[in-house]
């Protein structure tokens, strides 16, 4: 049974998956910095821009969640599923997510952040000749 509105659930879910995406970006940054990449700077710059963009969005989400008194609590995780409790003004809703579905949602957010962090592609007239 649904106890949170679509808006409340959407807000809390975005916060949850964006937070997970930020963890992935931080881990990737660490791997690149410690890795054997020949040229690290472009990758590091891209990931840092993505992280900045994500942090800014998450700050806004956190503010909206505070105003609406929404919280997300991790209940448990296993190899297949992760459970979260969404709390809002005395109402609560437990959601179970299939871990590959979580991965796909996080991947989509990372792709969105990458699109925001990359400069727009420029088309040159002489490139076609």
pLDDT in tens, 3-19: 889 999 999 999 999 99
Local structure of 76: helix, strand or coil: strand
Report yes or no on 105 lying in a domain.
yes
In a 13 Å sphere around the CA of 63, the CA atoms on its Cβ side amount to 6
Residue 123 inside a domain? The answer is no
58 within some domain: yes
The half-sphere exposure of 58 on its side-chain side, counting CA atoms within 13 A, is 17
Task: Count structural domains, the chain.
Answer: 1
In a domain, 125, yes or no: no
91: containing domain: 6-117
Q: Is residue 126 part of a domain?
A: no
pLDDT in tens, 50-88: 999 999 999 999 999 999 999 999 999 999 999 999 999
């Amino acid at each position: 049974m649904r106890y949170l509105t679509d808006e409340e659930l959407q807000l809390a879910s975005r916060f949850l998956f964006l937070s997970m995406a930020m963890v992935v970006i931080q881990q990737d940054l660490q791997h690149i910095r410690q890795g054997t990449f020949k040229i690290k700077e472009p990758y590091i710059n891209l990931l840092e821009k993505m992280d900045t963009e994500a942090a800014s969005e998450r700050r806004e989400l956190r503010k909206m969640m505070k105003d609406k008194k929404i919280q997300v609590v991790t209940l448990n995780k296993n190899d297949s599923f992760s459970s979260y409790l969404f709390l809002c003004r005395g109402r609560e809703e437990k959601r179970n997510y299939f871990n590959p579905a979580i991965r796909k949602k996080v991947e989509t957010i990372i792709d969105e952040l990458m699109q925001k962090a990359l400069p727009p592609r420029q088309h040159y007239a002489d490139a076609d000749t």
